[in-house]
Amino acid sequence: MDLNTLWFILIAVLFTGFFFLEGFDYGVGVLLPFLGRTDDERRVLTNSIGPVWDGNEVWLITAGGAIFAAFPNWYATLFSGFYLALALMLIALIVRGVSFEFRSSHEGVIWRKLWDWLLFGGSLVTALLWGVAVADLVHGVPINSALQYAGGFWDLLSLYSLTGGLALLFLFIYHGALYLSLKTETSLLERAQGAAKVTGLATILLVLVFALLTYLQTDLFTRGGAGFVLILSALALILSYAAVRRGRSGWAFVFNALTILFLTASVFWGLFPRVMVSSLRPQWSLTIYNAASSPYTLRIMTIVALILVPFVLLYQGWTYWVFRRRVNFKNLHY
């Protein structure tokens, strides 16, 4: 295995961790105005992710930094082509982040409801745009012979990309409902389990439609075992929903985690060795070789990653261990 392949795999692992951890953050944010009927209940919901959401964002920052350093041409083409979409995502992330702090800075009812709905909007927009971006990477975008994006904002939107956006959005909402089933008590627990039953069924339908469109409109199913892994993702989701129907929230969360893992793996497996597919001509696609940094840069980055990544993993593991208990009205902080 060369360093180009190693860094492609590492970036895939970083995005897998990000979608798994930040996925339930987005889901809780979207569910917040609907499950929390009182201010104290909404405080319980925000406290369930309050200590961990910013740590979960580290996976995204690290993945972005890895793309910039290891595959600068990928970074340049991605950020120039997806500029408006990424700017909108950044605004949503900023609004979402400050809402955790601002809602508790004033006790006014209208003030707190405002920031609750902004948390909802920031979570929904970000999750939807991530789904659209992933679908565009699989389907392909207009990239010319100079390896530069040659389209506009509306070229990023299609039936396939919007279906992918909705599928990932509902997958994250379902993930958030399962997370709340493990972190809340009494009436909030019951509502979270009810939300998981409703959103789980919608998620299954959207993921199956997305898988069908992927088979019809992309080459993912012809690239090794990527299509098989996507099928495994759908099967894990069905098993997760079956566990929800039986009241096994823990197993449902585990199977949904596998759903996200298999889904992300299928995307990167289907891309390899490409990093961005050209919809104009296949030979104009960016790959792990024509988009990569020099071998010396990759060697230095590998040494740095081997030193720093274990510390990040230990920090995240310690955080979740400290805040492992269910949240109730007696241990609120936000």
Q: Where are the beta strands (DSSP E) in the chain?
A: 274-276, 286-287
pLDDT tens digit string along 7-41?
999 999 999 999 999 999 999 999 999 998 888 88
Separation CA 93–CA 119 (nearest Å): 9
Does residue 258 form part of some domain?
Answer: no
Q: Mean pLDDT across the stretch 130-139?
A: 93
Give the relative orientation of helices 186-217 and 159-183 as an angle to the nearest 10 degrees: 150
Give the relative orientation of helices 39-49 and 186-217 as an angle to the nearest 10 degrees: 50
Q: Where are the beta strands (DSSP E) in 79-232?
A: none
Tokens 């080459």 belong to residue = 219
Q: Mean pLDDT across the stretch 131-145?
A: 93
Q: Which DSSP string corresponds to 249-294?
A: HHHHHHHHHHHHHHHHHHHHHHHTTEEE-BSS-GGGSEETTTT---
No. of helices (H) and no. of strands (E), the chain: 11, 2
pLDDT tens digit string along 253-299?
999 999 999 999 999 999 999 999 999 998 999 999 999 999 999 99
pLDDT surpassing 60 at residue 48: yes
Measured CA angle at 250 (ends 236, 311), to 5 deg: 90
Count of alpha carbons within 13 Å of 6, Cβ hemisphere only? 11
Nearest Cα residue to 305 out of 57, 59, 66: 66
User: C-alpha dihedral over 34, 39, 40, 43, to 10 degrees?
Assistant: 70
Q: What are the φ and ψ backbone dihedral angles of 247, each rounded to 5 degrees?
A: 80, 15
Measured CA angle at 188 (ends 186, 193), to 5 deg: 100
Tokens 């970036």 belong to residue = 11
Does residue 152 form part of some domain?
Answer: yes
Separation CA 131–CA 206 (nearest Å): 12
Separation CA 65–CA 57 (nearest Å): 13
Q: Could you tell me the two tokens for 16?
A: 């897998």
* Residue type, position 324, single letter: R
Nearest Cα residue to 59 out of 314, 268, 313: 313
Does residue 88 form part of some domain?
Answer: yes
Q: Residue 153: which pLDDT band, with cuts at 50, 70 and 90?
A: confident
Bigger pLDDT: 95 vs 224? 95
Nearest Cα residue to 170 out of 178, 182, 159: 178
In the chain, how many domains are there? Answer: 1
User: C-alpha dihedral over 185, 237, 161, 225, to 10 degrees?
Assistant: 140
Terminal-to-terminal C-alpha distance of the chain = 47
Bridge partners (DSSP) listed for residue 32? none
Tokens 């585990």 belong to residue = 254
Q: Could you tell me the two tokens for 162?
A: 């919007």
pLDDT surpassing 80 at residue 334: no
* Residue type, position 221, single letter: F
pLDDT tens digit string along 199-229?
999 999 999 999 999 999 998 888 888 889 9
Does residue 129 form part of some domain?
Answer: yes
Flag whether the pTM goes above 0.85.
Answer: yes
Q: Could you tell me the two tokens for 241?
A: 């929903």
Does residue 170 form part of some domain?
Answer: yes
Q: Residue 333: which pLDDT band, with cuts at 50, 70 and 90?
A: low
Instruction: Name the DSSP letter for residue 225.
Output: T
Instruction: Name the DSSP letter for residue 51.
Output: T
Give the structural domain span for 147: 16-196+271-293
